A and B are shown apart, each in its own frame.
Chain A
Amino acid sequence: MFRKYLILFIIFVFITGVLSGCNNSDVLLAEQQILRYNLGTEPETLDSAKAKGNIEFNVLINLFEGLIRLDATGNPQPAAAESWDIEDNGKKYIFHLRDTKWSNGDPVTAYDFEYSWKRVLNPDTASGYAYQLFYIKNAAAYNSRDSNTSSDTVGVKALDEKTLEVTLEAPTAYFLTLLASPVYYPVHKPTVEEQGDKYGAQAEGFVSNGPFKIVSWRHQEKIELAKNENYWDSEQVKLSRLVFLMIDNPSTELAAFETGQIEFGDNPPYPEIERLKQQNKAKIASDFSNYFFMFNVKKPPLNDPRVRKALNLAIDRKALVENVLKAGQVPALAFVPYGLKDLKGEDFRATGADYFKDADFEKARELLSEAGYPDGKGFPEIQILTNNNGNNKPIAEAVQQMWSKNLNIKVKIKVQEWMVYLESLFTGDYQTSGIMWSPDYLDPMTFLDIFVTGGGNNVTFWGNKDYDNLIETAKKTSDLEKRFELMHDAEEILMEEMPVSPIFFNADPYMLKPYVKDVILNPMGWRDFKNCWIEKH
């Protein structure tokens, strides 16, 4: 008898639980599922072949579906590809596509992917981000108009409607995460061919295959997306509208956020972040960028590694991060940032060591006198080159003070306009400068291969044979475990010679209304609203 009641009771509890659960979800969902997100500025294009920055990516990632989508920690998840086989020691990938559709109802096929990737590589398309596809066999050659290659020799081929075969130049461990970036998205061939130059510059007739489709684009003003009913996973998409606004000024963005003109803003004014965090208006997402000072090793006295190391140790990173920047940055005592996983899923940074101590002024002075400048005597004045973007200037000012105070040397600052600044870096017309570097893909290699001898972005002009060898081998080897060891070794050389002085690992502050749920903020800084929903408030 008792047992019978107990069972009834349990059933009762279960049913009410389920019912109230349903009820709850009805209550929880706000009536209007509209999200207004401040993009910051006008995207340069919505052509995925030509998009280069996060402004464009943040729109594209919601409009399109690549073979892969990244989750919040940056792990690749199947998207347009349902599954894949990796063959030939990691040099060949075979993707099996899901049954998915374009927003106009056409099926998405492997041929679409083949067409899109070859379009990116076609030199006449003049895609600035084409080098992200150079992992594919013959891709670089085709893009640089090598007469021995044509689009047919490029290592991407649709075997049938649902199977895509990709051949790589070398085994590339992070190839799957690369596939999540917009340059690898498919484009709708008939639209591209019909619109020509205008493709990606207007909302009219724009066809996409992602969670949302574009409704309107008023230039410099706003882009409106609506839920794409033809999306394969449209059940998961809760937002009916997604509006991108273009408020450039951080103070205005904050005002717009406070007055309810936007629900989500990326760019809170940095002096306000601490307060906003306390008021629970701002949060901090992880970001895999790092900030470092580069030393131009062609300019004495910076050609002496001891001088570079002395300068490195004379920086008090903790004070800089905690008192000036205050947005959750972490002092960097090595080059590669936290968050990048090795094969066992362990953090590359956590398994590697710290290479030096923060604010080790004693040792800094020691190294400086070893280099021939006891107590800073005879040390020529050095100049920090910086610019007005972001918080580069306050960082430079703080570092200037630390160097001159802790090493008793003369340090000047020079501020240049952004592009003038970049030209100075590329031509080597500077001594030292701080810069933020964000990853192109989620692997330590994106940071380490900057500094190979003669690398286009290696504006320290530093070169080291052993380092080059380690990077070269790591790129080619199919022994993935060994690859991580090689990268650790390379980082050690980098920190030993110190052409760069790591300052901090970046964090990504943002303002979000508490009733906006399930935005995927992946560590590349992309905002994925596929699963986002608005709670009743």
Chain B
Amino acid sequence: MLNFVIKRTVSMIVVILFIVTLTFVLMHAIPGSPFTDKKKLPESIRKNIEKRYHLDEPFLKQYCDYILNMFKGDLGLSLRYEGRRVNDIIKKGFPVSATLGLLSIFFSLMTGIPLGILSAIKHRMWIDRFILVLTTFAASVPGFVSATVLIYFFSVKLGWFPAALWGSPSQMVLPVLALSLYPGALIARLMRNSMVDVLSQDYISVVRAWGLPCYAVIWKHAFKNAVLPIITHLGPMSAGILTGSFVIEKIFALPGLGQHFVTSIINRDYTVIMGVTVFYSVLLVLMNFLVDMVCCFIDPRVKM
């Protein structure tokens, strides 16, 4: 166990270094600088600004300074938002994105799993087909369309929920709904397929032959095995939710971190690009780690 944790930590540090390097190089390769504007800055002013942010120093020095500061936990000053530390931006935005993300994962599990089980029980019957079409439909509408349509119907036409902004629970309903459509549909289909697999296995036939009622077969014997693939998929899925949250946060005007994910690139806000990438990478690595632990806990066959 300890061995496993150490191994993971070392590989995490390597991953982060790799990511920092790759992002740093790519980021500086893109045309434009944080201070590119429609009205071109006079040369002397541009020099003043670059000096202030140490962008006039050699590339390698900037890189080394960044790595050193990063390991000290300092992600630097935003180049776009005057006087704001990247650490503060993450601290401010992440709770919102995390709330949104966790609620969405919870909601998609709560709808996806029952739908998937139902679909598997009624395998190849009309209800299975119906759920298939429904989930495919949910998974095939781009997030920005579903979000806009949800706002249009539920807030403008029906007036049930506020159209935008963050704070009250009623303001969370539409964003969470919009964000869970895709993962919810994915979970439903994964659950269906793995449940169908499990139900076709010999031990289930045996249990069935004992004469156990259907729900007991599903709940006591099949569920635990069938849910495993979903847990392993939660890692990549949360990555999808993170990126999906950009669209949702932008459309619903939520003060989350997802917005910075893309806006920082558009703004060429170097330090924020780096900070957000590093932060998300650490988060994803931890998430995968957690998923492995849970799998090991549920299924003793999985070795660490």
Contacts and interface: CB of A to CB of B under 8 A. Distances in A.
Quick check: do A and B touch in the complex, using CB within 8 A?
yes
Interface of A: 42, 44-45, 47, 50, 52, 123-128, 130-131, 140, 143-145, 197-202, 218-222, 245-249, 251-253, 255-256, 258-259, 261, 417-420, 422-424, 426, 435, 440, 456-457
15 contacts: A47-B82, A50-B82, A123-B44, A128-B35, A201-B82, A219-B89, A222-B165, A245-B165, A246-B255, A247-B164, A252-B151, A258-B156, A259-B156, A417-B266, A423-B32
A-B complex: 9 closest residue pairs judged by Cβ atoms = A419-B32, A45-B82, A201-B83, A144-B44, A220-B255, A255-B163, A126-B52, A247-B253, A221-B255
Nearest to A140: B44
Interface in B31-58: 31-32, 35-45, 47-49, 51-52
Contacts of B250: 248-249
Contacts of A253: 164
A190 B251 CA distance: 40
B167 to A, nearest CB: 8
Contacts of B266: 417-419
B251 A249 contact: yes
A222 B155 CA distance: 21
Given A197-B83, A255-B164, 11 more contacts: A44-B82, A143-B45, A220-B255, A245-B165, A245-B253, A256-B163, A256-B165, A258-B156, A259-B163, A261-B163, A419-B36
Contacts of B192: none
Contacts of A128: 35, 37, 41, 45, 49
Interface string B154-165: 011001001111
A126 B40 CA distance: 15
Interface of B: 30-32, 35-45, 47-49, 51-52, 77, 80-84, 89, 92-93, 148, 151-152, 155-156, 159, 162-166, 250-253, 255-256, 259, 266, 268
Nearest to A221: B255
A261 B45 contact: no
A395 to B, nearest CB: 16
A199 B38 contact: no
Given A47-B83, A124-B52, A252 B255 contact: no
A290 to B, nearest CB: 13
Contacts of A199: 83
A419 B268 contact: yes
Contact of A256 (B40, B82, B164, B255): B164
A45 B83 contact: yes
Contacts of A252: 148, 151, 163-164, 251-253
B31 A221 contact: no
Contact of A423 (B31, B165, B251): B31
Given A248-B250, A248-B253, A252-B251, A420 B32 contact: yes
A423 B48 CA distance: 20
B30 to A, nearest CB: 7
Name the residue in A131, A222, A249 with the highest tally of chain B Cβ atoms < 10 Å from its Cβ.
Answer: A249
B31 to A, nearest CB: 4
Contacts of A422: 32, 36-38
A197 to B, nearest CB: 5
B44 A456 contact: no
